[in-house]
Chain A
Amino acid sequence: MNPPLPRVDALAKVTGQVRYGADWVPPGLAHAALTPAAIGKGRVVSVETAEAEAVPGVLLVLTRLAEGELTAPTFLMVGGDAFESVQPLLDDKIAHRGQPIALVVAETPYAAAEAAALVRATYEEEPVSVTLDDPGVEVRDQADVLGPYEDRVVGDADAAYAASARRVDAVFDLPTQHPVPMELTSSVVYWDDGGVTVHEGTQNASAIRRGLAGQLGLPQERVRVVAPYVGGGFGNRNSLQMQTGLAAVAARRLGRPVKLVVPRELMFHNSGFRPASRHRIRLGAGPDGRITALLHDVDQQTSRYDVFPASYTDTSARVYAVPAFRAHQRIVFTDSQTPGYMRAPYEHPAVFALESAMDELASATGLDPVELRLLNDTETDPLTGLPFSSRHLAECLRRGADRFGWARRTPQPGSMRADDGSLVGWGVASAAYKASAAPALTRLRLDPDGGLTVWAGAHEMGQGIRTAIVETVVGLTGMPAGLVTVEAGDTVGVPHQLTAGSWGTATVLPGVYGALEELRKRLGAPPTGPLPRVAAPAEVEVGSLAPGQPPEALDRVIAGGMAPAGPVYPDFTAYSFAAHFVEVRVEPTTRRVRVARTVSVVDCGRVASPVTAASQVRGGVVWGIGAALREHAEPDPRFGGFANADLEGYTVPVNADIPDIDLEFIDEPDPSLNALGVKGLGEVSMVGVAAAVANAVHHATGYRARRLPIRIEDLL
């Protein structure tokens, strides 16, 4: 056994040497700035740019692009590449708050910002409807909107629920939230020999490449996207955004490189976010606590013009042995930009609702919350009847209870006090997240000096994929980590697909494994042990697939698309699991809630990189605490968009919000998903944490949270 490898890019990161998108400063660079619309919806009647153009140093003021200069992109969820189908500056429509009406380019950021503020416009304003309950919204069954889609049904859940001895019926409201990666959205774009190069932090270089090529009318081969390091993803950067095409047009017109950094407030209004969702859970059980029925009704927001689908109930159905299940999901069309995938997009809200209801069921049956969960464990997927490829949820619960000291918990709410008089609450929740995997094309080159270069179609956004790749190679060959180079995040290498959905590890590492096998075969080397020395560089390029995938799935990735599979595979269903335990302290007078400590035990298959995996779990717990107690993007009923669209108003957890985070991995390889036995981790680590916090708050105070975040006024 090798000792765990430290994060391979940590040295470059602590010295400031890593370059993110906007860190590129090519010679002759011009700076761009955006003028946002002053209305939340409507149309631009007239635009006045003379004052802006008179600012010294201004090179270009764009308010309407020429015919054919840039076309609207296609929305990600209908086979396209963009987070939404709206492209600013193509017509007079304003679809949402923050949509730009002008792009200014100047010699300096100052001149650009000054001029952008001087662009004036008149508008025809339309009213906006921004919440699920606004009378101006449209509500439709998802089954009617998405064609072949059907709500999940197993057995007769309504009858089973009606006949249940114990019933919980509760509605939970989950707020709009924003991913808020620390790196601002930005593009540095330049043209060269008829092709265009984009430096931009992204989780999906292929989507920017294919999408921008389509917008500009270029073949994909003429677009290069460079994103070796990304300053946080969390779903925010999973597709083409509006600024890339604008920067490309400006750079082409000026014949100069252009840098466009989207200000934080405009990021809140021009990228995907976690939509508001409402969940009615009806949970039936026998007097012994065994679940008899689960009904899960969901309303979820989307924009007026794109359908961001709702997929909550696939997860809520699979956490426990549920003999009868019925889902019903509806889409609510509101005035906002199109929502998107924010970390654990469906699983965090769905499991918050389910695990809050489970806590109520524990109270209703008199069972300990951990015992109730163990009692309802299952080895088979309730929706398909297939076995889970691996499932160690019960072990997560048992080990977590031990580590946490759960046996010392007294069940009565308000029955535990700290020495300083604070109310103490202990809560638990289970977590599940689909174990997806996707095809990959992986290239290896072994050099005569013993160095091995790995080209992987993945994006390093802090999750540690580079470290996981190096650690895997070291484990399979015994070679020193320093001899392994990872090339990732550049479309000049192998095809890249979206890095999201916790499928990165289970996609890239099997690819590396297969490529190493092929390299050994090519060199006539034994299947294990060190790689041989080579006299000339030896290179292999190998495709890999998720279980049961046809080879055409790889072709989709090579063509610039994506092809994730799972969680249902031909012979099994694959999920990652976790159990989270949380202690809160509630100050008795002010009712201020602090999370005092947490324990998480996670089943992500074999742990590919212990150092970066532990940080992933800590990060997920921080996100759960933020979701439970802090984060709410407040819809603005007057101007549309969000009223608290900056880092002061949208409160993400700060250091002082975060306690000691204890964690442990089951570290049992999944025998079915891939040869390395790895499952995803980044999202399951967040799922359930907010429910554990809320259940702990109930244990401390008796308050049942029906909406997040929990605020002091809820507890007074």
Chain B
Amino acid sequence: MRRMLVKVSVNGSPVELDLDPRESLLDVLRERLELTGTKKGCDHGQCGACTVHLDGRRVVSCLTPAVQADAREVTTIEGVAADDGTLHPMQRAFVENDALQCGYCTPGQIMAAIACVAEGHAGDDASVREYMSGNLCRCGAYPGIVAAVREVAQGWPA
């Protein structure tokens, strides 16, 4: 299998990768970069647990070939808090609204939630429910997730 060299920015740091073109961004993050905050729940793009940002837009990293991240910026759950450790407002809102139980889907939920607000899809509860429906939560923390997203959206800079 022909290999490919790519340069990716991961959470603001440049990373050079020698890739098998079949490698998913998810597996590269988890198994090679040891950024295991991004989770595998299905590997089929059906659950959203692996959601990360690629150039600021949400993608399911299990269906994103890692080579597709060449010369682009990847942000994972490990990269959303400030450098001094101050939580992202969405992380704080998830804690305050207990928008999680087992926590396995939570990184993906938070990455999707940040994007949901940035996309302008958080104007009312119904819209949040619709645009957060790509991220499954088997514990059933949905009401807390909606509350967290709405709270952040209302304080979001215009």
Instruction: List A residues at the B interface (Cβ < 8 Å).
Output: 6-7, 9-20, 22-23, 25, 29, 31, 108-110, 179-184, 229-234, 261, 263-264, 461-464, 611-612, 614-616, 618-623, 646-648, 652-656, 658, 660-661
Contacts and interface: CB of A to CB of B under 8 A. Distances in A.
Given A13-B106, A646-B42, A655-B133, 15 more contacts: A10-B95, A10-B103, A15-B87, A25-B30, A180-B138, A184-B42, A229-B103, A232-B102, A261-B40, A462-B101, A616-B101, A622-B142, A646-B46, A655-B130, A658-B143
Nearest to A232: B102
30 contacts: A6-B96, A7-B98, A10-B103, A11-B87, A12-B103, A13-B100, A14-B100, A14-B107, A15-B78, A15-B91, A16-B35, A16-B36, A108-B23, A108-B31, A110-B20, A181-B102, A182-B49, A182-B102, A182-B136, A264-B44, A264-B46, A615-B139, A646-B46, A647-B46, A652-B136, A653-B140, A655-B132, A655-B146, A656-B133, A658-B142
Contact of B34 (A10, A20, A25, A182): A25
B101 A655 contact: no
A15 B138 contact: no
A355 B32 CA distance: 53
Contacts of A108: 20, 23, 31
Interface in B111-145: 128-130, 132-145
Given A231-B39, A648-B44, A658-B140, A10 B94 contact: yes
Interface residues of B, number: 57
Contact of A183 (B41, B78, B107, B133): B41
Given A622-B140, A652-B138, A655-B135, A615 B98 contact: yes
Q: Which 5 A-B pairs have the closest CB atoms?
A: A16-B37, A622-B140, A462-B102, A231-B104, A13-B103
A619 B47 contact: no
B77 to A, nearest CB: 4
A17 B80 CA distance: 13
Instruction: From B22, B129, B139, B142, name the one whose CB has the most chain A CB atoms within 10 angstroms.
Output: B139
A661 to B, nearest CB: 5
A616 B142 CA distance: 12
Per DSSP, chain B at the interface is loop
Contacts of A17: 37
A232 B143 contact: no
A583 to B, nearest CB: 15
A464 B133 contact: no
Interface of B: 20, 22-23, 27, 30-31, 34-44, 46-47, 49, 76-78, 81, 87, 91, 94-96, 98, 100-107, 110, 128-130, 132-146
Given A182-B105, A231-B103, A619 B139 contact: yes
B137 to A, nearest CB: 7
A618 B141 contact: yes
A648 B138 contact: no
B102 A184 contact: no
Contacts of A611: 98
Given A14-B110, A16-B77, A232 B138 contact: yes
B123 to A, nearest CB: 15
A231 B42 contact: no
Contact of B104 (A15, A183, A621): A183
A14 B140 contact: no
Contacts of B129: 655-656, 658
